[in-house]
Chain A
């Protein structure tokens, strides 16, 4: 498994992701946004941060950067793409994932751990969450309220494209456990082909039991062991 982390001006989780990838034996390369070609890789990661200072709309300017055509091509060829936080916002602005991410309902920047339920584990990203009833991961965002019209929400639910939902400590998906006002408690979604995952929580921040926890490790283990 080989990966490429795209670095935009303002990305700030790029190196954390790189550390996580390397820890789980995924051979990684950093790619600057101004490149037009990607190195040979199976997985692209769009990291968290504040690409282009969140100018215009979060992820908007990054979605028009030079490397994005290569990212879209990678997706068309069935390659894997993981967008975390700002990366999720970029995927939405690029059109690789549907819907929109609005400002958090209470207009506050949120930085805390949340509980999640993995609803679809039959994909390259979430296989190792099979045994895990409730996952704990940190969120850190200002625009993370996932919004979609009722048709799209129905489509996501019917086709099992919601990867993660916010829940309480016991795994109940209730509105009290929804930190940002996302429709249906959505924290992460897949595209139809299930080769693109966008999520607001940060798996790369929980990969070491000494420092934090290991619930993020499971995603990188899934990716390393997924057939490519």
Chain B
């Protein structure tokens, strides 16, 4: 009986179960340990169910499944004769892919939470919201009318806001939560306006109706959705909340927010722009490409300057979202210029990067959580030498860092390589604006990729290599089994998809067919798992061969060095083991490692200034090096807005202190003004 159910039914049951887990956690507040196991265990099982069902739908390559539930607002859709209410749900190949990816992140975060949740000081500030957050994200993806979409979008924002505020006694977290709330409401407002424009007063808000009802304001809708969904995804200059809010949440929630929630935002963007709006103009991709390139460069530069491990990862998210948006922009550009097969390539690159980023950013936030749990530190200047204390976490951190640095043979390389393949075909386009700008953005992306490598060398090297910079780092202990299991699964998947990317590309085929009517060549037919996005003559990549080559050459080099280099007799001072000065302060610090990049790029991007104070000869005071950096985005955009809002609020405050007669006079004046307007223009 139950086995007859469609996968979509299973997904809805799992979402309902997630919704039910939230209130259940509240009733179990007396038994926090039991509540933790129940919530994370239950959320993990429900997410796994969603993931399997979505994968089944995606791989079966069937038609979209739709469902109508009689709950919700009374009039959400036009149905032939009149309005019908209720909630419209639908899952097509695109939705199934995103659902599988997000719930995969949910599974990993839930397993991680089983162990990591023990360190939570106030578990009830996280437990009730966690499953609701997962349910909200899944519901965004299965929504098929604007009401369900916006409702679940807000649910996702609010429940994650509550978890950002979990450590509410810290003033920085309260500030982060406030900024997050403002930006989330702003983004949703714009999405609301976008849906209103698309509906165009016809009253129908189901996506099927919006698809047919193409209003004349599609460019405006694109701008609204780009800002609305882009602010959630973290596009520069709408990213300001992201490096504040993502690190403030508990680490498994950070992994979800950074790895998964930004992807849900990207899904919303794709759903509206690629699916609902229909045929794009030739220039639509351009703002996406430029903002994406800007985000990639700015995000990774900020990450390079950052000392806080979790904030560094949040900035790296901005970079990766930039990469994804460049891919989407290219797909939009190619579609607008009638190059369907190239559009399919760029879109596949973007979706592949979405998948990869869920894996690697999830993994790295979990590593940051493990470091935090083991040492209590997030500042990489107070870590070091953790490879000896947390060997397994260190190995997984290395996998994550390599993947995020886009090094072969890991998965991050494949998707960025695909993006560059799409950029490299763009000079064959006709409009000159595109021919010139896309390669320029390509150069920016190449710079971002190189800086990403530097950033993660710095992050990994300072935290895991060298000698401990604090006693907390020296006394660290390996984290619990659940955390290592979750990180291990993600790490394995990173390696697996890096070596066999063809499976992912083939799974994307129905999505590309739906949206562009073109697909990439079948990859499972090619020999030795070679990836050929366009044709074998043009370019191909073989992860397996690369892995073998790296393993062979690395092993050979190690062998040669050990056989030849280590055996030579060297003369050195006795007993100092190669370190003439025993203090850990002689090592590279976070500031010194970033100095070259800061001097070259930071002086422009952040107006970075260094000031050296040398004490006079004979003075015993230490010499000081002070670095000052300015956040131009905040100062030039958000600062003035904040000041204007404050000024307006001060003015409006006067209304609090009027007498009864003055209030009456206000009402009277409003009435008279409205009547006058009516008399003149009515």
Is B one of A's binding partners? no
User: What residues make up the interface of A, taking CB atoms closer than 8 Å to B?
Assistant: none
Which positions in B face A, CB cutoff 8 Å?
none
